[in-house]
Structure 1
């Protein structure tokens, strides 16, 4: 795709605004970028429900496992500098691993840790730090736990996700680079990209969206406190904004000239393992690979107490989509997929200007409907969904006020009419759609008529 029309971006913004009023998510920030330009950078809903604090694009989110992509980038930079090799045994750089009673640990390589194929336990034998029952392990505690824990499976047999494995990679970076993980990432990744709203760890004096639990039975959510991720910062510690992540993923594109050589980027981005039970997902080195229709994207997800985030970029046309939410129980990946689908469905050209007067959102007792101008004509969709165009209806123009339903779901109103009524200034006063009269709406609130 060479360009994304302004009409498409405006619709996505309007749709996300509507969903923010109905979707039971405290707040979310969304960025869409292409060719070095931010086409959308907006926040919706609340940063804090108790204070009714409006979410802004400057609020940071705990982006959790996105951190793994930064760690992998740092590792590849050290490989390029000749300090390490991907197939080095980890114990060459962390000699204490040579003490491990499980001899399989002695041969675990950097590449295996990056691709989650070393067989390392995911979060240790006591992962209650995720429930805030204890602190995250520091480096001394992580080393102690690793030495007391056998590999769960033999290396190179399947993808087995591991935060502890990436904690070890953070220790490796510090050992080889001679500086802290935080210092390395700031100096070699964040500062060169001018990512001023991104940090490798939580900082108390920055502006954050409050993270919330999944909904209770009474539909309420409970806020989580902030906390340090200790030695697992290289796995789950990063904090960022949607705009900064859009900058980061554009730098990861082959040919960008930023961060790494194209050879290193190809190594990171190529398929290393299939994600079991998810045919559209594969994994590289510190990168998730997601197939969205015909698009192959790279990026990462992040789940943290109170946050669900997902951000990816199309490796071919460079369309980047970032979705950051401040609540459990939200499938950020589904929102990302829907945005890509909308971009693809609307296409590369602006719709006929003559159709724009027929666009609008309307409410009736059963649902909210919207009429959108596409390059090939007018369509009716259901905007109050994360899949708004799943059952889109095509309309064929009959005259200045009338359209005919020309293609729709079999249980709908094929062949029937849509008629418009306009005020003197050209504004739509109401419509009659397949016999149902509907009034214009912005937020879709129910109008009680009985």
Structure 2
């Protein structure tokens, strides 16, 4: 019987290719733990420097494909009681709250209860004439022109006092707009405060209850909620700030003041659940998610900033409130996330998150360094 050398050559070639594939796959399996270990070592080195130089205190979590590469606490959650920070430590989020407020609005849109093109005066009573052309989208994208109430001259004197919605809105309601709505971007907490009021008006529920029922509970975010001085919240961190190079307790703020612009608390672990949900349709459709992450003016979407870093799309936001400074950045194409929550108001959390992401991608980053004092000129 004649031998078919052509068929035999194809068979041999196929066997060789299979062996090469097995070797390559084995090498990748071996390399993955080594690569993870390199990332952990570099991240630890960086964070130790951040603790020493920047006096960082808080928790970090860096994940790829939803799995933590490093998740660790640094410094103290409570300095008076010597309680260390850990991955389960609860931090006030500040403006990271805005991404949840934006999601709540979009959940209501998907249910047909409102639309981002709607005028806000359809939902707010006693609406001033200057606001008549402002849409919900303008509030979401910081393009309303409404002055920022946390920048008002008397804010530091009034932030400690509980306030009703009506009383707080009265502080900026009759002020002239800073520009024609939709004309430009200017960050304003006032817009997100009003979005919280719209959520309550449309849903018939309080802002905390709506988020709990429609975001936190469905995602299993059991350590996330609306902060309150009166509530007993397990593992809650105290907030601190630097004054004359000494750490002091942060100034008190009543949590009725930040409301939907910055009153939530969470942990790094819960925020990873949130991050992972944004790759799915657990909360809203992909069409709605695309709208949330579409940049408007100055690269701002709905509660998120959208830009490029390390030649990749980066979606993120910082959050600052008395005693805390936080950052979350996401790289959707790589499924990489860096979360930094700090209970030191002066911590460079955004820079830390970016550097940790750079370590994952093998990109350049700068180690925290002590500033050298220079001699005064003669």
State if a TM-score over 0.5 links the two structures: yes
Match of 1:111 in 2: 137
Q: CA RMSD in A?
A: 2.4
Q: Deviations over 1:120-173 (max 9, x none)?
A: 111167454446664254212123234322212211111111111111100000
Structure 2: tracts of 5 or more residues without a match: 1-28, 370-378
Q: Does 1:341 align with 2:338?
A: no
Separation of aligned partners in 2, 1:147 and 1:212: 32
Separation of aligned partners in 2, 1:336 and 1:21: 14
Match of 2:180 in 1: 154
Question: Whose helix fraction is larger, Structure 1's or Structure 2's?
Answer: 2
SS at the partner of 1:95?
Answer: coil
SS at the partner of 2:354?
Answer: helix
Shift of 1:197: 1.0
Q: Which has the higher contact order (CA 8 A, sep 6+)?
A: 2
Q: Does 1:47 align with 2:77?
A: yes
Shift of 1:23: 2.3
**Equivalences for 1:106-145 in 2 at 5 Å?**
106-123=132-149, 126=152, 128-130=154-156, 134-135=160-161, 137-145=163-171
Match of 1:314 in 2: 331
Q: Deviations over 1:214-245 (max 9, x none)?
A: 341xx212112554321531001011111111
Question: Whose strand fraction is larger, Structure 1's or Structure 2's?
Answer: 1
Q: Does 1:31 align with 2:61?
A: yes
Separation of aligned partners in 2, 1:295 and 1:214: 34
The answer (yes or no) to whether the contact 1:166–1:232 under 8 Å persists in 2 is no
TM-score (norm 1): 0.70
Separation of aligned partners in 1, 2:84 and 2:308: 34
The answer (yes or no) to whether the contact 1:26–1:47 under 8 Å persists in 2 is no
Structure 1: tracts of 5 or more residues without a match: 275-281, 347-380, 388-450
Q: Deviations over 1:297-324 (max 9, x none)?
A: 2121101111110002112111010011
The answer (yes or no) to whether the contact 1:292–1:340 under 8 Å persists in 2 is no
Shift of 1:24: 4.0
TM-score (norm 2): 0.82
Moved more, 135-144 or 291-300: 135-144
Equivalent of 1:260 in 274, 279, 284 = 284
Q: Deviations over 1:378-407 (max 9, x none)?
A: xxx999x238xxxxxxxxxxxxxxxxxxxx
Match of 1:8 in 2: 38
Separation of aligned partners in 1, 2:201 and 2:48: 49
Match of 2:237 in 1: 209
The answer (yes or no) to whether the contact 1:30–1:43 under 8 Å persists in 2 is yes
1:125 to 1:141, Cα distance in 2 relative to 1, 3 A: farther
SS at the partner of 1:303?
Answer: strand
Shift of 1:18: 2.2
Match of 2:303 in 1: 286
The answer (yes or no) to whether the contact 2:141–2:303 under 8 Å persists in 1 is yes
Aligned length: 336
Separation of aligned partners in 1, 2:98 and 2:61: 21
The answer (yes or no) to whether the contact 2:54–2:348 under 8 Å persists in 1 is no
Shift of 1:21: 4.6
SS at the partner of 2:219?
Answer: coil
